[in-house]
Amino acid sequence: MTITEHPLVKSYLAAVARETAGLSPERRNELLADLEEHIAVALAEASASGDDEIRTVLTRLGDPRTIAATALGDELPAPQVSRGRTLALLALLAATGLLTVFAPLLGVPALIGVIWWLWRAPQWRNRDKAIATAAALVPPLFAVALWVVPAGTLNFGLGAFTPVLLAVPALPVAAGVYLLRSAWRLS
Amino acid sequence: MEPDIAGKPVAGKAESQLRKGVLEYCVLAILREGPRYGVELLETLGAVNVMVTSQGTIYPLLSRLRRDGLVETRWQESPSGPPRRYYELTPAGHAALKEFTAIWPHFRDAVDHFITD
């Protein structure tokens, strides 16, 4: 077992990773690699690998929040985003996603516009944006599927169809809630 | 002034503010002697009590010095443990240290002038 797989070290590094969610991935990975190296070197030099020695090394490294605060202090201050804008963006995302089902000519361009706005917004990580984009694309893809597949062949009975119909609008809504939580956690 | 939630004495705050300003020059000064890796650098800094309270905070600082072009890094194998990331002064780092070294005595004297009865 390498030292980074030790539960104490893993949970310490995980705490640093959690606290530095606001850093760029490059900076965050560098910091985690530096701390990982520090722990391994400090223990190798003490010729120690017991839990007590590991605890000592981690205690001297300090509170993950303190390290994160130092790292984040160097980062350009995060742009201030009003909650109103966040809510408006998410509401539009959900609304245009649904609009594509009922009025594709209007909804598709609108949805493209909102997704473009989403990717330019600073308050989410790319992973969150990808999740939201995928969820917002579900209703239009569903609409396209209904339109392309010849009528009748998709007839798998009302019993199976109802859950699918419910899931189509539920996904964008769930994505909206997820993004909302994510934006508030990061800010 | 923001309230001191931790309830630490004011001296702790002053110390941390001062440290923030000078720590990077102490790091540059240690590197003047030659390349060092993180743990080594911290041992030297740790020999003087006030300089580092939370060792891990040195790494964001070193990262910034590297991005500012004041230090360079390279990895070197070691007979024990993982490869070490060595930090080394660049010409810009030498220049920054020289500048600080010139300013510091005046700064120290000025502070002494005001706080000494």
Domain endpoint, select from A14, A47, A74: A74
The answer to whether residues B36 and B87 touch, using CB atoms and an 8 Å cutoff, is yes
Do A118 and A100 fall into the same domain? yes
For the stretch A36-69, pLDDT in tens is: 999 999 999 888 778 999 999 999 999 999 999 9
Q: Do B84 and A37 touch (CB under 8 A)?
A: yes
User: Is B64's Cβ below 8 Å from some Cβ in A?
Assistant: yes
The whole domain housing A25 covers: 3-74
Residues B63-116 pLDDT 10s: 999 999 999 999 999 888 789 999 999 999 999 999 999 999 999 999 999 998
Residue carrying the six token digits 């995928």: A134
Q: Smallest CA–CA separation between B30 and chain A, in Å?
A: 18
- Confidence tier at A5 by pLDDT (50, 70, 90): confident
Q: Rounded mean pLDDT of A152-163? A: 60
User: Do A182 and A114 lie in a common domain?
Assistant: yes
Is A105 found in the same domain as A51? no
Q: What are phi and psi of B89, to 5 degrees?
A: -70, 140
What residues in chain A have their Cβ under 8 A from chain B's Cβ atoms? 16, 27, 30-31, 34-35, 37-38, 40-45, 47, 60-64, 66-67, 70-71, 73-74
Do A90 and A161 lie in one domain? The reply is yes
The last residue of one of the domains, among A74, A91, A114, is A74
pTM of the model as a whole:
0.61
Q: Residue B36 has what pLDDT?
A: 96
Question: Token digits for A125?
Answer: 């990580």
Contact A61 B38 (CB under 8 A): no
Number of domains within chain A: 2
Mutate to test the interface with B, among A9, A12, A34, A76 (most CBs of B within 10 A): A34
Whether residues A15 and A97 share a domain: the answer is no
- Do A90 and A61 have their domain in common? no
Q: What is the pLDDT of residue A58?
A: 95
For domain B10-115, say whether CATH 1.10.510.10 is its number. no
DSSP structural state of residue A96: H
Cβ A46 vs Cβ A53: under 8 Å: yes
* Distance separating alpha carbons of residues A31 and B63, to the nearest angstrom: 8
Are residue A9 and residue A36 in the same domain, yes or no? yes
Please give the pLDDT value at position B3: 41
pLDDT tens per residue, range B10-45: 557 888 888 888 999 999 999 999 999 999 999 999
Q: Which among A47, A74, A101 is the end of a domain? A: A74
DSSP letters spanning B19-74: HHHHHHHHHHHHHHTS-EEHHHHHHHHHTSTTS-SSGGGHHHHHHHHHHTTSEEEE
User: CA–CA distance from A138 to each of A112, A126, A135, A160 (Å)?
Assistant: 13, 19, 5, 18
Q: Is residue A87 located within the same domain as residue A175?
A: yes
| pLDDT score of B23 | 93
**Domain match, A102 and A164 both:** yes
Q: What is the pLDDT of residue B77?
A: 92
